[in-house]
């Protein structure tokens, strides 16, 4: 028999075993769905908590009020950014949230708390990018400091850091791949499950990688579309935007 035909047959059998047999293709999309759910919930938690942390630190820096609370926030950011997310996942899954039976919820909270530390740094930079005259204008109109922050400063800061927040979402999609260490069925866990039945890692790993690549590529396209719209606004209005994310997150000054 022709060796090339034999190899082709072997590859076809491996491919079939990795996807078709026992409807294993469904595992990939189930894992992908769980990954996207965790990432979406985590980025919502990260944005909400991150902006709170940033607002507390920013307020303490500008007004001198709430320094103790700001110090606590800084410690939180330092600890979260200074420890591996997989260890944080172990702590949350096996200790803090051991009573929670839904692994997706545990993963979402863990990655959300982790993301908040990075979003806080990005949001702080966004707050500082808003012209100080905006605060003075709000106060001159009779608004309190809190109302000025909520109605004037925070919306402008949020707009400035939209590209960076998208980068954080992209990072979270890939970061959740460690969820499989505690048995959560995410996309990163699926190749190992299928390999345990087929004793072949090649096609499960390739297909999982392809799905990650497609998701990240689509998110990148959306991010570039938003940046394009923001750049048009920048040319007309002179606004600043902050791109990057956790990879470009600078140390606090």
Q: List the one residue out of 163, 174, 248 whose CA is nearest residue 213.
A: 174
Q: Is residue 170 pLDDT above 80, yes or no?
A: yes
| pTM reported for the whole predicted model | 0.85
In a domain, 107, yes or no: yes
In a domain, 154, yes or no: yes
In a domain, 19, yes or no: no
Beta strands in the chain (DSSP E): none
| Higher pLDDT, residue 249 or 218 | 218
pLDDT at 65: 87
Handedness of CA 159, 162, 163, 164 (dihedral sign): positive
pLDDT at 236: 53
In a domain, 9, yes or no: no
Write out pLDDT tens, residues 218-247: 999 988 888 788 777 665 555 555 666 665
CATH number at residue 174: 1.10.3720.10
In a domain, 18, yes or no: no
Domain count, the chain: 1
DSSP, residue by residue, 178-237: GGGGGT---TTTHHHHHHHHHS--HHHHHHHHHHHHHHHHHHHHHHHHHHHHHHHHHHHH
Q: Quick one: tokens of 235? A: 């040319």
Domain span at 163: 26-247
pLDDT at 1: 45
């Amino acid at each position: 028999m022709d060796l090339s035909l034999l190899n082709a047959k072997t590859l076809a059998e491996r491919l079939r075993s990795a996807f078709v047999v026992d409807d294993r293709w469904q595992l990939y999309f189930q894992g992908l769905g769980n990954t996207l759910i965790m990432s979406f919930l985590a980025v919502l938690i990260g944005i909400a908590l991150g902006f709170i942390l940033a607002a507390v630190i920013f307020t303490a820096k500008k007004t001198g009020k709430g320094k103790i609370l700001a110090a606590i926030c800084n410690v939180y950011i330092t600890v979260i950014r200074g420890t591996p997310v997989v260890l944080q996942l172990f702590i949350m899954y096996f200790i803090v949230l051991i009573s929670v039976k839904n692994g997706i919820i545990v993963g979402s909270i863990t990655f959300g708390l982790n993301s908040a530390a990075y979003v806080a740094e990005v949001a702080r930079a966004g707050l500082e990018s808003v012209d100080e005259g905006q605060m003075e204008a709000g106060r001159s109109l009779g608004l309190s400091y809190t109302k000025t922050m909520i109605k004037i400063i925070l919306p402008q800061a949020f707009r400035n850091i939209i590209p960076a927040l998208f980068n954080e979402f992209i990072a979270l999609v890939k970061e959740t791949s460690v969820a499989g260490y505690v048995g959560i069925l995410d996309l990163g866990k699926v190749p190992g499950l299928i390999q345990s039945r087929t004793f072949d890692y090649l096609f499960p790993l390739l297909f999982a990688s392809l799905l990650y690549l497609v998701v990240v590529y689509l998110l990148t396209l959306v991010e570039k579309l938003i940046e394009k719209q923001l750049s048009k606004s920048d040319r007309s209005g002179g606004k600043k935007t902050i791109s990057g994310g956790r990879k470009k997150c600078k140390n606090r000054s």
